[in-house]
């Protein structure tokens, strides 16, 4: 925020201009930070002559389209609410993602545990066999983030591993992906975009899912227990 103590303690500041943050678990703060860091990466790439000017323009052109695509995702909130009703009674969730989708798996799990108080764990899908696979059964839904990028085929393999162990799968995919739809229990579709920009569209359904599950459980989604707006201790 403009005028906060950290702006006075550092040599450089990159404002997100997200406006006042009301809820602790804030979608706009997350997505604005992603946008700011993406722009910073483009700038540094140009400054180091690592990025073609045409490629940077293409990224910017697609980034400008993102708000409209995010609105389309928000228009499907009723479908995500339906899924929340279906899965509200489960006590454990596993979130899986590869590459750029792994941090989004962490974010999805974080939001669910923060506001619904359900145990949720985000994990890199490539390491699923080194631990979480032992936990998978019919009582632990698995949320798989599977946009069509260079990791897509391997994510399909992860989905088949989960189904072989009777796991229930919610898959987050680009529009028109019958291959994944045929293998999972439920699908959340998002508009197709450049894979590097997919976090803008994959984060929103996961945060909405956490929101609706928390709401059905009767928790305070704006001020979750034990969480603070500002950190005053190390």
Q: Give the pLDDT of residue 51.
A: 57
What residue spans define the domains of the chain? 5-72, 77-217
Question: With contact defined as beta carbons under 8 Å apart, do 18 and 29 qualify?
Answer: yes
State the Cα–Cα distance between residues 182 and 186, nearest whole angstrom: 10
Using pLDDT thresholds of 50, 70 and 90, give the confidence band for residue 131.
confident
What does CATH list as the number for 77-217?
A: 3.40.50.10490
Q: What is the pLDDT of residues 171-199, one digit of tens each?
A: 999 988 888 988 999 999 999 999 999 99
Q: What is the pLDDT of residues 1-14, one digit of tens each?
A: 788 888 889 998 98
> Collapsing DSSP states into helix, strand and coil, what is residue 42?
helix
Output the furthest CA–CA distance in the chain (Å, rounded): 54
pTM for the model? 0.90
Q: Give the pLDDT of residue 52.
A: 64
Average pLDDT along the chain: 89
State the Cα–Cα distance between residues 76 and 214, nearest whole angstrom: 18
- CB-based contacts of 27, cutoff 8 Å, min separation 6: 203, 204, 207
Question: With contact defined as beta carbons under 8 Å apart, do 209 and 83 qualify?
Answer: yes
């Amino acid at each position: 925020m403009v005028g906060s103590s950290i702006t006075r303690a550092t040599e450089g500041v990159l404002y997100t201009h997200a406006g006042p943050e009301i809820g602790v678990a804030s979608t706009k703060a997350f997505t604005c930070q992603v946008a700011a860091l993406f722009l910073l990466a483009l700038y540094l790439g140009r400054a180091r002559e690592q990025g073609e000017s045409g490629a940077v323009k293409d990224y910017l052109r697609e980034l400008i389209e993102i708000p409209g695509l995010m609105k389309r995702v928000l228009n499907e909130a009723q479908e995500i609410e339906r899924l929340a009703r279906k899965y509200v009674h489960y006590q454990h969730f596993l979130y899986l993602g590869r590459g750029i989708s792994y941090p989004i798996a962490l974010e999805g799990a974080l939001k669910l545990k923060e506001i619904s108080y359900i145990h949720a764990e985000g994990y890199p899908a490539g390491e699923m066999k080194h631990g979480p696979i032992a936990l998978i059964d019919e009582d632990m839904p698995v949320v798989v983030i599977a946009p069509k990028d260079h990791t897509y085929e391997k994510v399909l393999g992860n989905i088949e591993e989960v189904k072989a162990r009777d796991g229930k799968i919610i898959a987050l995919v680009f529009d028109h992906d019958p291959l994944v739809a045929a293998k999972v229990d439920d699908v959340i579709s998002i508009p197709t975009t450049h894979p590097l920009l997919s976090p803008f569209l994959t984060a929103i359904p996961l945060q909405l899912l956490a929101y609706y599950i928390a709401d059905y459980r009767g928790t305070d989604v704006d001020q979750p227990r034990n969480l603070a707006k500002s950190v005053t201790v190390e």
